[in-house]
Amino acid sequence: MLRAAARALVALTAALGATGGALAGAIGDKVFEIEAQFGSQPGQVIERLRPLEAGARAGDTDDLRIFLAAWGYAHASIDKPSVAEAAVEELTDLGERLHDPAALASAYTLKAAMLSFSGQVRAAFGWVESALPLADKVPSPDLQYWVDMMAADMATSNGHLDEGVRMYEAAVVAARRGRNPRREAQAYLGLVPLHIVKGQLGVALRQAALVRELGARTTDPSLRISSWVLEALAADAQGDTRRSERARREAQNATLAALVEAPAGPQVPVNSQAGGDGWMGTEVDALLTLSALHQSAGNFGAARDLALRARTQAQAQNDDAHLAVALVNIGLADIRMGHIQQGMALANDGLARMGSRKRDAELLIQLNRYVAALERSGETSESWLRLRDALMLETELARRDRRSTVIELQRESSFQQRQRELDQLEHQNALQAAEIGRRAMERTLSLLLAAAMGLGGVVAWRLYLRARKANRQLALNNEALEFASHHDAVTGLLNRRAMEAHTTALHGQPYCNVSISVKQFGLIVGSVGHQQGDQLLCQIAGRLDAVARRHDATLYRVDGVTFGAIFRCAEGDTQRVRTVLQALAEAMEVPFEVGNQDLIVSIGAGAAHCPTDAPTAHEVARLAELAKLRTHAEPGNTHVLYDARIGESQHDKLHMEARMAKALEQGGFELYYQGQRSMADGRFCGFEALLRWHDGGKMVSPAQFIPLAEESGLIVRIGAWVLQQGCQQAKAWADAGFGAVKVAVNISPRQFNHPDFLATVRRTLQATGVDPAQIELEITEGSVMDAAEASIAQLHALRELGLQLSIDDFGTGYASLSYLRRFPLTRLKIDRSFVSQLGASAQDDTIVRTVIGLAHGLGLAVTAEGVETPAQEAMLQSWHCDVVQGFLHSRPAPAATATQLLVAEREALLQAAEA
Ligand code: C2E
Ligand code: CA
Ligand code: CA
């Protein structure tokens, strides 16, 4: 997995919204300094930030925001999530109260960092995606850099390498804007492994050199080391042994030099996801990073090879920590390649080693990855088992963290939110203490009881009674504590924990989650004072609760000024949702009376539905919050129902991606065929294969899912399936005596550029036994323009296999005909947008006519797409266009329908011959 996130620690601190110079106050500047010096050592950062807290709280919002983000991030990276969580809450509160996008962006990015540090990279992606548009609103290169880096990390960890590249590149730009060579180097450092994985080794080598060049302008030796390590691996991949050996030597020298200069002092263990000094500082570490990247990109073979190399090196160096991770990586790759048993054995071995080394945060990360891999391979029972382990470990880590954090929290100011958190912690600790006490007592009593049996019945009986009484009392106490732990002390409402328990207990029944915030509560409290603030909050809670009860909903106080409501609700019943939201808003219309003032309060509410909007309680809650955020821009009581546009978020994408992967395995895809008619004899000479997805009863258009499949890389597998089906169908038609009917198959850019593409084509041709001349690959200009030379070679190879090659959507891209001359093509397809304008635009007429003439001059056949009217067809015919395709003669339809077309044609021909 990638750990660039943490390298951004650097950024973060600065980022936290201040833009340097004018905006950064005295505190901001100090944080900058700390960042520059101790960026990769969170322990040091915390020590130096501590004395700044009082000043930050007394200063302006920028100061506080900078401080909180740095403070939270540093704690998150040494696995102290409680403090980080408190910072997230305070930042959110700050952002909501003051409508400060920088504070919200910081809150979400910090939240994403925390999640990623425990291996929950999917959830993390969702949060950082919410931060991106907010960061765009702030003219701060610091904040932008942090968010971009985080987004880049999370994108790559989720397998979206191209998006990762884009975001790292954006981070480069932000770093440059902020004139910070160290950050720029770190952003490049994120890019290098991606380019290696994508096989763009030249770029990787150039950027590794850039890292060094920029690194030389900083005092950070780790940049130098990492860049040499990566250069060695890139050179390896290129087969340039001399270069890789030299790079390895340089890496060693740089490591030695850094050791000599290293500052002495206590080292705090840093979460592996948070990077720190060691990130990619050794070859083993870099190999594992590359392996994880390949794994998330779906290149399981490569992932396995690299992990095997890492294992060998780790063994040779007696490096148990990396050995364990290597074993897990090999195991995960095996599982995804279908060697389930072998993979599970290896992964379990690795996990057990981690467990025995007490590296629990690392173990949690790897457990979560393991669970994800098992889920994807359909190993449900083992994945559930391991998920339970992961959850238990997470709870245990949280508990340990809380115990040590409680003291720290006590020392801090009694900011209301914190106070509540503290209360809850006390409840929990009391519960645990009581439980432990009860067990101990039971044990003692039963020992005594056993001993007393020997003394005589009376004594024993008395002891027994006493034990029962004590136990009853304890049970009562526990009930009271149990109540306290599910209720909010200020309003008496159920609390967040109760809400979570409730949604779990719904067991998949459809329900709606509403998130409600009081707008500008901070300002109101500022004017009436804290005590009255609590009173007001209670009154608000009372009114909301009354409305909720009237509508069979349950109200919760989630935290601070946020309430939540849960109610059962059928899928698609938006009317009910709106009624409830409307009623909640109406409850605010009458002013509140506090002290002897009338106060007007507005709420913003967001609603999301389970399972319509998302399948899990956790995600639905997040979507409801996202929807609620939309309400804050407008004054007054407002509400927003979550819809897909809001959630253009990654979660939906991931969801869709998962469904596509499933469809691929379970036959959810089908090929439709659209006839292509030859102008020479008016007969169907071929069909274009067009993909259709039957997604739970509805038919999804390829325009909707191909782009996502392309982005996620799934297109490679889908495309292989399409090719195989298309070849089979062509062969079936030939076998049925229809002659060499052609089948045109669309090839996406990512598929075309995949290293295995040629091999896949060759294998498919062999396996299906189709005559290659029947198959035409439709390639877009975009596929071949990027790496023109390599593409030309591949196109030649495809032609040598006997395939036809056409260029699709001609006229929409940037290729010129003279450019195309260099490609060994057989056909050109004129895009629909030109054809539809025929007769309407003289200019388009000329273009189409000229293109047909020039194409013929280059020896290419021409197909016109999207022919809908006889008039269009007539014009095309007069210009000697070879083939027309469009709704005029044939709409895309299942294979059986296409076959009927061929049958009808053959019969008509036979009749004509007889007559
Ligand atoms: P395309 O390759 O340009 O395919 C032609 C599209 O135009 C098809 O839409 C087809 O239904 C539509 N079309 C054909 N004749 C007419 C007409 O007379 N009028 C109008 N208005 N439309 C017409 P479809 O099937 O929705 O496919 C959309 C795009 O999805 C395709 O554009 C292609 O880029 C992509 N696609 C479809 N199947 C595959 C596939 O198997 N693999 C890949 N990589 N992409 C595919
Ligand atoms: Ca096409
Ligand atoms: Ca087309």
Give nearest CA residue, ligand 1 atom 22.
Answer: 866
Q: Is the CB of 886 under 6 A from ligand 1?
A: yes
On the question of pLDDT at 779 being above 80, the answer is yes
DSSP 58: H
625 vs 550 pLDDT, higher one: 550
Could you tell me the two tokens for 856? 């013929």
Q: Is 572 exposed, middle or buried (0-12, 13-18, 19+ CB in 10 A)?
A: exposed
Choose the residue to mutate in 712, 722, 746, 764 for probing ligand 1, maximizing ligand atoms within 8 Å of C-beta. 746
| Alpha-carbon gap, residue 299 to 339, rounded angstroms | 15
Most confident of 84-88, 222-226, 769-773: 769-773
Least trusted range by pLDDT, from 39-43, 50-54, 841-845 = 39-43
| Alpha-carbon gap, residue 397 to 78, rounded angstroms | 12
Least trusted range by pLDDT, from 62-66, 201-205, 433-437 = 433-437
147-163: per-residue pLDDT in tens?
999 999 888 877 788 88
Could you tell me if 329 and 288 are in contact, meaning their C-beta atoms sit under 8 angstroms apart? yes
Most confident of 374-378, 514-518, 790-794, 814-818: 514-518
242-298: per-residue pLDDT in tens?
999 999 888 888 877 776 665 544 455 665 555 544 556 788 888 988 898 888 888
Least trusted range by pLDDT, from 91-95, 333-337, 525-529 = 525-529
Most confident of 481-490, 635-644, 704-713, 751-760: 751-760
What pLDDT is recorded for position 51?
81
pLDDT band at 65 (very low <50, low <70, confident <90, very high): confident
533-560: per-residue pLDDT in tens?
778 888 999 999 999 999 999 999 987 7
Least trusted range by pLDDT, from 18-27, 195-204, 675-684 = 18-27
226-236: per-residue pLDDT in tens?
899 889 989 98
Q: Which among 550, 649, 515, 654 has a CA at the least distance from the CA of 96?
A: 515
Give nearest CA residue, ligand 1 atom 35.
Answer: 702
Could you tell me if 906 and 738 are in contact, meaning their C-beta atoms sit under 8 angstroms apart? yes
The enclosing H or E element of 731 equals helix 715-735
| Alpha-carbon gap, residue 309 to 291, rounded angstroms | 10
Give the SS3 label for residue 119: coil
Give nearest CA residue, ligand 1 atom 41.
Answer: 691
491 vs 867 pLDDT, higher one: 867
What pLDDT is recorded for position 53?
79
What pLDDT is recorded for position 379?
75
Alpha carbon of 902 to ligand 2 centroid (Å) = 21
**736-755 mean pLDDT:** 93
| Alpha-carbon gap, residue 564 to 556, rounded angstroms | 5
Nearest ligand, measured from the Cα of 830: 3
394 vs 98 pLDDT, higher one: 98
Q: Is the CB of 221 under 6 A from ligand 1?
A: no
CA angle 889, 890, 892 (to 5 degrees): 160
* Beta pairing class for 603-610 and 698-700: unpaired
pLDDT band at 183 (very low <50, low <70, confident <90, very high): confident
660 vs 139 pLDDT, higher one: 660
DSSP string, 836-895: TTTTT-HHHHHHHHHHHHHHHHTT-EEEE----SHHHHHHHHHTT--EEESTTT---EEH
Give nearest CA residue, ligand 1 atom 46.
Answer: 746
Alpha carbon of 341 to ligand 3 centroid (Å) = 45
Least trusted range by pLDDT, from 186-195, 534-543, 780-789 = 780-789
Most confident of 333-347, 414-428, 834-848, 881-895: 881-895
Most confident of 303-317, 335-349, 602-616, 880-894: 880-894
Q: Is 669 left (phi over 0), alpha (psi -120 to 50) or beta?
A: beta
Q: Which among 585, 579, 551 has a CA at the least distance from the CA of 566?
A: 551
Q: Please, what is the average pLDDT of the chain?
A: 81
Q: Which among 501, 473, 505 has a CA at the least distance from the CA of 486?
A: 501
Q: Is the CB of 162 under 6 A from ligand 1?
A: no
Q: Is the CB of 866 under 6 A from ligand 1?
A: yes
What pLDDT is recorded for position 161?
86
**217-240 mean pLDDT:** 86
On the question of pLDDT at 166 being above 90, the answer is yes
Could you tell me the two tokens for 263? 């500052």
**628-637 mean pLDDT:** 78
For residue 865, which atom of ligand 1 is closest to its CA?
Answer: 15
| Alpha-carbon gap, residue 307 to 182, rounded angstroms | 30
**666-694 mean pLDDT:** 96
Least trusted range by pLDDT, from 195-199, 390-394, 845-849 = 390-394
Alpha carbon of 815 to ligand 3 centroid (Å) = 15
**887-915 mean pLDDT:** 94
| Alpha-carbon gap, residue 81 to 866, rounded angstroms | 57
178 vs 403 pLDDT, higher one: 178
Q: Is the CB of 884 under 6 A from ligand 1?
A: no
658-679: per-residue pLDDT in tens?
889 889 988 999 999 999 999 9
**354-366 mean pLDDT:** 73
Could you tell me if 640 and 628 are in contact, meaning their C-beta atoms sit under 8 angstroms apart? yes
Give nearest CA residue, ligand 1 atom 17.
Answer: 866
DSSP 636: S
Alpha carbon of 809 to ligand 3 centroid (Å) = 4
**Of all residues in the chain, what percent carry a pLDDT higher than 70?**
79
Using CA atoms of 480, 486, 489, 490 in order, give the dihedral in degrees to the nearest 10.
Answer: -150
Q: Sign (positive/negative) of CA torsion 851, 854, 858, 863?
A: positive
| Residue type, position 16, single letter | L
Nearest ligand, measured from the Cα of 747: 1
CA angle 562, 563, 565 (to 5 degrees): 150
93 vs 407 pLDDT, higher one: 93
On the question of pLDDT at 180 being above 90, the answer is no
For residue 702, which atom of ligand 1 is closest to its CA?
Answer: 30
Alpha carbon of 876 to ligand 2 centroid (Å) = 19
Alpha carbon of 884 to ligand 3 centroid (Å) = 12
For residue 722, which atom of ligand 1 is closest to its CA?
Answer: 41
Q: Is the CB of 89 under 6 A from ligand 1?
A: no
Alpha carbon of 825 to ligand 3 centroid (Å) = 16
What pLDDT is recorded for position 433?
54
Give nearest CA residue, ligand 1 atom 7.
Answer: 866
Alpha carbon of 826 to ligand 1 centroid (Å) = 20
Most confident of 70-74, 230-234, 781-785, 803-807: 803-807
Choose the residue to mutate in 690, 716, 885 for probing ligand 1, maximizing ligand atoms within 8 Å of C-beta. 690
Q: Is the CB of 615 under 6 A from ligand 1?
A: no
Alpha carbon of 778 to ligand 2 centroid (Å) = 6
Q: Which among 719, 720, 724 has a CA at the least distance from the CA of 705?
A: 719
Q: Is the CB of 831 under 6 A from ligand 1?
A: no
Give nearest CA residue, ligand 1 atom 32.
Answer: 703
On the question of pLDDT at 129 being above 90, the answer is no
DSSP 909: H
pLDDT band at 312 (very low <50, low <70, confident <90, very high): very high
Q: Is the CB of 119 under 6 A from ligand 1?
A: no
Residues 6+ apart with CB under 8 A from 338: 377
CA angle 78, 81, 85 (to 5 degrees): 135
Give nearest CA residue, ligand 1 atom 27.
Answer: 702
pLDDT band at 519 (very low <50, low <70, confident <90, very high): confident
- Nearest-Å Rg of the Cα atoms of the chain is 32
**Of all residues in the chain, what percent carry a pLDDT higher than 90?**
35
377 vs 394 pLDDT, higher one: 377
Q: Whole-model pTM?
A: 0.44
What pLDDT is recorded for position 446?
44
418 vs 538 pLDDT, higher one: 538
On the question of pLDDT at 417 being above 70, the answer is no
Alpha carbon of 874 to ligand 2 centroid (Å) = 22
How many angstroms from the chain centroid is the CA of residue 615?
16
Q: Is the CB of 808 under 6 A from ligand 1?
A: yes
Q: Is the CB of 714 under 6 A from ligand 1?
A: no
Q: Is the CB of 702 under 6 A from ligand 1?
A: yes
Could you tell me if 107 and 95 are in contact, meaning their C-beta atoms sit under 8 angstroms apart? yes
CA angle 381, 382, 387 (to 5 degrees): 100
Q: Is the CB of 710 under 6 A from ligand 1?
A: no
What pLDDT is recorded for position 456?
39
User: Which pairs from 486-489 meet CB under 8 Å and 24+ separation?
Assistant: 488/420, 488/556, 488/557, 489/420, 489/423
On the question of pLDDT at 301 being above 80, the answer is yes
Could you tell me the two tokens for 566? 């849960």
CA angle 435, 440, 441 (to 5 degrees): 95
Most confident of 105-119, 361-375, 569-583, 781-795: 569-583
Q: Is the CB of 703 under 6 A from ligand 1?
A: yes
Backbone phi and psi for residue 813, each to the nearest 5 degrees, phi listed first? -100, -145
Neighbours of ion ligand 3 (CB under 5 A): 808-809
- Angle of helix 715-735 relative to helix 757-768, nearest 10 degrees, comes to 30
Alpha carbon of 176 to ligand 3 centroid (Å) = 40
Q: Which residue has the tokens 């106490």?
A: 477
Tallying the residues shown for the chain, one arrives at 915
838-879: per-residue pLDDT in tens?
988 787 788 788 889 888 888 899 999 999 999 999 999 999
